[in-house]
Amino acid sequence: MPAMNEPKLIAGNANRTLANAIARRMSMHRGMSVSLVDARVERFNDQEIFVEVYENVRGEDMFIIQPTSNPANDNLMELLIIADALRRSSAARITAVIPYFGYARQDRRTKARTPISAKLVANLLTEAGIERVLTLDLHATQIQGFFDIPVDNLYAAPVFALDVEHNFRGRLQDVTIVSPDVGGVARARELAKRIGCALAIVDKRREKPGEVAEMTVIGDVKGKTCIIVDDICDTAGTLCKAAEVLIENGATEVHSYITHGVLSGPAVERITKSVMKSLVITDSIEPTEAVKAAPNIRIVPTAPMFAQAILNIWSGTSVSSLFETDTLWPIYEGMYSR
């Protein structure tokens, strides 16, 4: 049975721009004004986080929009405290909309005496009163199994497919999708399948985290327009090196599509000076002024997809329908032509 009350949105400070965009998009879908719940999320002088909700949320279906990006710990605590405030205010259901799920790279024990931090975060979210999680391109899909509550993991691939088809129209036959490592082959293969392009792999060998010792291209990229696909770009060292190796192996140009633009440290400078013609990221993480100003970085919106997913969750209809490019195209109509 569809919910009787309207869905209500509340946001922390991690990505207010995306939260407002989702609210605007939902207003278009609903034919009525949807705005963020009036609340304050502030810090005391000692940096303790304080949350106060000014509107009645008793019996409401609440959606907290808060990526746990840099500063990851602060944004995670904001999410937990907002959830606690809503639970103690008798909200009927609390869904955490986490466009970028921090700590997802710590999903297993790679060495002795190390934590599985992604599982710890899952436990924290559940104990805070969150009853459902909506996220985008989890670094490892098995993280969904860390939760004992429903997790809806959306994919950027359908949106990226629309963008590639639009921007590379007429030359898709020359496009090759590239995975920057063996672990990301499934993600790259998915996009390659959607747009009907060839697939290649850059095999890398790390001596230690953050450094790449050697790279080898598996597949034919000579004379091709290469598109590197990955979920996270942090310092961009691996990405820029992979682009150089592809050019050295005969690629005519290199572009990259990355879901989460963490882009920390020297990343923006590296990308600006790299051989990549363009880097496309989503707005799952609030872009810095440096990212916005970079001439070869472009941002595609996720608000249309998240707004529709929230409405589907609220109404009890399928979220997996958003995994298909043909389903998303009407939502993004006006932005992309086919």
**Is 105 one of the annotated binding-site residues?**
yes
Map tokens 């639009």 to a residue.
Answer: 166
Q: Are 108 and 132 contacting, i.e. CB atoms less than 8 angstroms apart?
A: no
The contacts found for 46-53 with CB under 8 angstroms, 24 or more apart, are 47/74, 49/74, 49/77, 49/78, 49/81, 50/81, 51/78, 51/81, 51/82, 51/84, 51/85, 52/85, 53/10, 53/85, 53/86, 53/89
333 labeled part of a ligand binding site: no
Active-site pick, 8, 111, 204, 273: 204
Q: Catalytic: 204?
A: yes
CB 233 within 8 A of CB 258: yes
Listed in sequence order, the residues at least 6 apart from 14 whose beta carbon sits closer than 8 Å to its beta carbon are 66, 67, 68, 69, 75, 78, 286
Q: What are phi and psi of 244, to 5 degrees?
A: -60, -45
142 among annotated binding-site residues = no
The answer to the question of whether 181 is labelled as a binding residue is yes
- Confirm whether residue 48 is marked as ligand binding: yes
163 is in an annotated binding site: no
- 195's tokens: 């747009």
Pairing of strands 39-43, 93-98: unpaired
107 labelled binding-site residue: no
Concatenating the DSSP letter of every residue in 243-254 gives HHHHHHTT-SEE
- Is residue 317 marked as binding? no
> Rounded to an integer, what distance in angstroms lies between the CA atom of residue 261 and that of residue 299?
9
Q: Do β-strands 61-65 and 198-205 pair in parallel, antiparallel, or remain unpaired?
A: unpaired
234 is in an annotated binding site: yes
**Residues whose CB is less than 8 angstroms from the CB of residue 186 and which lie 6 or more positions away in sequence, other chains included:** none
For the four alpha carbons of 159, 19, 127 and 1, in that order, the dihedral sign comes to negative
How many Å is the maximal CA-CA distance in the chain?
61
- Residue ranges of the binding site: 46-48, 105-106, 139, 181, 206, 230, 234-238
- Residue ranges of the binding site for Mg(2+): 139, 181
Active site residues: 204
